A = this chain, B = another copy of it.
């Protein structure tokens, strides 16, 4: 039977499937193979921690999608996808981490049996879960197929969120606020970082009464002082120290939807350069939020942000944000639009971004960010509602 615990309405899945099929037709794709777990979930509802083996969804122009994956995960598929059970297909466990055979041999057989052995197949060439070997195996097994690069094709279709999706993201945002409130309440000099992260996880997963917490696609990041020049270091058992800034990059997650929020804490009296940076960054964020409206382009946000930062002598270099929504590890971004000056993507109502102008400087770091929703008029709506400044604790 179709999944018992499907997150969205039939209408919503029909909308998504329609978008995918339109794009397939426009690109001349006869069948689309999607291995990105976020795209699999967006199209079918599939949800499980099984993306460490090959699996995927086949989208056809004229029949329901097929979930394809490992035998032991097919039960999970039957419980989470909206399609009928007959649309769940599986390969045997002897394909797993074998040096003699590859799961894509099974997939190729399925495609041939369905009459696609000499058709045009879309594949996501740039994706964590579609390995070089997977592609080479498909090429070998399907010599008459024309492969079309459909990298990020579905990701782009996810950019504008439906009301149903926004409701999930607002729940995630409530969890993000709860996490940040908990951090502010608990942090103190001498506290072991791992203890603080234990509390962050407990808040994130406990969630709120009407929003249980799902696992975020990125773990909490909270580097301090000079380490904060390195944005992706994870925690350890060292203690929080006085007279340094520590930034917190976290996200609540509700049914795979995210609303990241970053804030920075300083114990003691912040140095002038940090206060100057905070002031410039706050101005940049406000200007960026004003520019973040339908009809403007992504680059407009980056330019608005850069002006006060440049005036304060801060050159960032990195992009200042990315779209967010449904996601699985290792990234909560959608990997399409980038908030940077050269990105000319036109903003539309319903797009959601993590506006993330992290400052990772020599010897220090500062992160104050917002998850935002694009509307017809500026400023963009911030999904979380928490003060934007540096949090100072003595």
Contacts and interface: CB of A to CB of B under 8 A. Distances in A.
A236 B219 contact: no
A393 to B, nearest CB: 22
A131 B136 contact: no
Interface in A183-223: 192-195, 197-199, 201-207, 211-215, 218-219, 221
A21 interface: no
A227 interface: yes
B128 A234 contact: no
Nearest to A123: B132
A34 to B, nearest CB: 14
Q: Which of A94, A329, A331 has the most CB of B within 10 A?
A: A329
Interface residues of A, number: 83
A232 B330 contact: no
A83 to B, nearest CB: 16
Nearest to A139: B132
A213 B219 CA distance: 13
Interface stretch (A48-56, A261-269, A279-287, A306-314): A48-56
Interface in A53-109: 71-73, 75-76, 78-80, 92-94, 96-97, 102
Contacts of A213: 194, 198
A340 B100 CA distance: 14
A133 interface: yes
Given A49-B232, A215-B219, 12 more contacts: A49-B234, A49-B330, A52-B331, A71-B318, A73-B232, A92-B317, A132-B132, A193-B212, A194-B212, A195-B206, A198-B213, A199-B202
Nearest 7 Cβ contacts at the A-B interface: A212-B237, A76-B230, A132-B135, A194-B212, A201-B201, A52-B331, A75-B230
